[in-house]
Amino acid sequence: MTTSVVLFTRDLRLHDHPPLRAALDRSAAVVPLFVRDRAVDAAGFAAPNRLALLADCLRDLDAGLRDRGGRLVVRSGDLVGQVCAVVGEAEADEVHVAADVSAHAHRREELLRSALEARGCRLHVHDAVTTVLAPGSVTPASSDHFAVFTPYFRRWGEHSVREPLAAPRRVRVPDGVGSERLPGRKGLTGLSPGLPAGGEREARKRMTAWLRGGVTGYADHHDDLAEDATSRLSPDLHFGALSPAELVHRARGRGGPGAEAFVRQLAWRDFHHQVLAARPHASAADYRTRHDHWRTGAAAEADVAAWKEGRTGYPIVDAAMRQLRHEGWMHNRGRLLVASFLTKTLYVDWRVGARHFLELLADGDVANNQLNWQWAAGTGTDTRPHRVLNPTTQARRFDPDGAYVRRWVPELAGLEGRSVHEPWRLPKEERSGYGACPDPIVDLAEGLDRFKRARGRD
Ligand SMILES: Cc1cc2nc3c(=O)[nH]c(=O)nc-3n(C[C@H](O)[C@H](O)[C@H](O)COP(=O)(O)OP(=O)(O)OC[C@H]3O[C@@H](n4cnc5c(N)ncnc54)[C@H](O)[C@@H]3O)c2cc1C
């Protein structure tokens, strides 16, 4: 029997983990390894909120392995060098890792494969670990990926999803492989105060509670900002504390329109992953150029600062931006409308917004963040790329009583009902009582005209 190394990346769980299962089936001993990759940090991905959840996930993974007789080995530095060092120390014959889609992940796989081969060690890359279906397993006849969600989803639904695997009972880790100390939250600054606890155990509790309750009303209520009726499982999916394939199985087992609508959102996640897998440059470059000449300069910078701080004077935009800062998470409807506001009404480059989201989002990842930003900016896969969401109309529709705005913009908490969405309409003497709330930084009609001109649609 051989010894294997299982390299964990963003699949930080024991349940439904094909690389770990394969390694345990083939080997007498297994080294569960996580490498804090210097290149990921250098690329600006080491945001405090995600580092906190990463630390939670690693500690939980280690605890779960210890319950099974094993432990987690943690290293930091150059990923390839660290994996090779551990392979040498453990005299391992194989390394198992989950496939991933970003340009960085592709490069990592190539470098790892050649470095390991040079040592006579085999790399096994496992599909459908971080996504429900492997990117590339659902393709149209004429292309390497689907560029439109609806046909993708039709085909996606025809594929069978592999059965989830149970967590292992025992994991034997060989002696003599040292580990660095597990990271913790201590010492991290700039964390969002409302950040949830991460890790597989917490994630599984959230999943069970969601499938028992919330998912039933998901189809009807998922867009209601104040109700907060979505799963909030995105950080767990981002770190792989939950398996997307298991979630699909369990949601389908639950059945009903809520569960179906929820599974559809999980397919959106797969959709963006298959786009990025086929077009890795879409993380930084327009997927479909609209020949934009985005605003720059002092006025644009002032608008961006107001947007980031949640003081644009559009209460629904400000509420969503403040939720992001406070929780490291934002409701999907909020994400859509603040992204449309930045890229279309203010006509600022989507990369500026995407970067800010990645600095704060606990679930921030390249595929979902960059491609949703591109969708909102009309440079991605939206089939109506020039539509502009009016924040006031959106507010009336998705926060009809104004409760979401009052929750996050306390200076407007004294305004009742939907009047909270348009404080500028208040009579002058009443408006002065809400002086802490800024006037709108842009006139919506002017913003719309500017955008239409820029896209040659005036
Ligand atoms: C501008 C913008 C940026 C975004 N950035 C991210 C990001 O960095 N990471 C991220 O996970 N999601 C991102 N999303 C997608 C979506 O907003 C979040 O996944 C969702 O709000 C997470 O909340 P939830 O877990 O309660 O979702 P639920 O509504 O409960 O949905 C269940 C799961 O489906 C997936 N999902 C739902 N909607 C989408 C979508 N539009 N695209 C891809 N997957 C989806 C998520 O994994 C989510 O956890 C972004 C959306 C926009 C418009």
DSSP string of 114-178? HHHHTTT-EEEEESSSSSSS-TTSS--TTSSS-SSHHHHHHHHHHSPPPPPPPPPS--PPPTT--
> Any bridge partners for residue 5, and if so which?
31, 95
Choose among 163, 205, 232, 200: nearest CA to 62: 200
Tens digit of each residue's pLDDT (9 = 90 or more) over 414-449:
999 999 999 999 888 888 887 778 899 999 999 999
- For residue 457, the model assigns a pLDDT of 86
Please work out whether the CB of residue 74 comes within 6 Å of at least one atom of ligand 1.
no
Average pLDDT over residues 352-380: 97
- The 10 Å Cβ neighbour count of residue 48 is 17
The answer, yes or no, to whether residue 363 has pLDDT greater than 80, is yes
pLDDT at residue 342 tops 80: yes
Calculate the CA 175 to chain-centre distance. 36
Residues 6+ apart with CB under 8 A from 297: none
Q: Roughly how many angstroms between the first and final C-alpha of the chain, as a whole number?
A: 70
Q: How far is the CA of 393 from the centre of ligand 1 (A)?
A: 22
Check if 15 has its Cβ closer than 6 Å to any atom of ligand 1.
no
pLDDT digits (tens, 9 = 90+) for 261-319: 999 999 999 999 999 999 999 999 999 999 999 999 999 999 999 999 999 999 999 99
Ligand 1 close to Cβ of residue 222 (< 6 A)? yes
Contact 415, 402 (CB under 8 A): yes
* pLDDT (0 to 100) of residue 208: 98
Which of 97, 87, 86, 89 lies closest to 119, judged by CA?
Answer: 87
pLDDT value, residue 345: 98
363 annotated ligand binder: yes
Split at pLDDT 50, 70, 90, the class of 210 is: very high
Atom from ligand 1 closest to the CA of residue 266: 34
Ligand 1 centroid to Cα of residue 272, in Å, is: 10
Q: Is 367 helix (H, G, I), strand (E, B) or coil?
A: helix
Output the pLDDT for position 313: 96
- Rounded to 5 degrees, φ, ψ at 331 are -60, 145
Percent of the chain with pLDDT over 90: 93
Percent of the chain topping pLDDT 70 = 100
Cβ 64 vs Cβ 167: under 8 Å: yes
Question: Nearest-CA neighbor of 379 among 301, 446, 270, 281?
Answer: 281
45 pLDDT band, cuts 50/70/90, is: confident
- Say what angle helices 391-398 and 315-327 make with each other, to 10 degrees: 70
Give the mean pLDDT of 203-224.
97
For the CA of 237, the closest atom of ligand 1 is 47
Taking the centre of ligand 1 as the mean of its atom positions, its distance from the CA of residue 238, in whole angstroms, is: 10
The per-residue pLDDT of the chain, averaged, comes to 96
Q: What is the pTM of this model?
A: 0.97
* Residue 242, pLDDT score: 98
In tens, the pLDDT along 110-150 reads 999 999 999 999 999 999 999 999 999 999 999 999 999 99
Cα–ligand 1 centroid distance for 236 (angstroms): 12
Residue 130 and residue 65: Cα distance in Å, rounded? 20
pLDDT at 431: 82
Determine if residue 364 is labeled as part of a ligand binding site: yes
Per-residue confidence (pLDDT) for residue 43, from 0 to 100 = 82
233 ligand 1 Cβ < 6 A: yes
Comparing 36-45, 65-74, 250-259, 430-439, which segment has the lowest mean pLDDT?
A: 430-439
Tell me the C-alpha distance between 398 and 334, whole Å.
9
Residue 1 has pLDDT above 80, yes or no: no
CB atoms within 10 A of CB 265: 16
The domains found in the chain, sorted by start residue, are 2-129 (3.40.50.620), 131-162+201-278 (1.25.40.80), 298-454 (1.10.579.10)
From edge to edge, which strands make up the β-sheet containing 27-37? 73-77, 27-37, 2-8, 94-98, 122-126
Tell me how crowded residue 283 is: count the other CB atoms within 10 A of its CB: 21
Per-residue pLDDT, 137: 94
pLDDT number for residue 241: 98
Q: Identify the pLDDT of residue 434.
A: 78
Rounded distance between C-alpha atoms, residue 113 and residue 121, angstroms: 9
pLDDT digits 0-9 by tens, 216-263: 999 999 999 999 999 999 999 999 999 999 999 999 999 999 999 999
Which pLDDT does position 429 carry in this prediction? 82
Cα–chain center distance at 352: 17
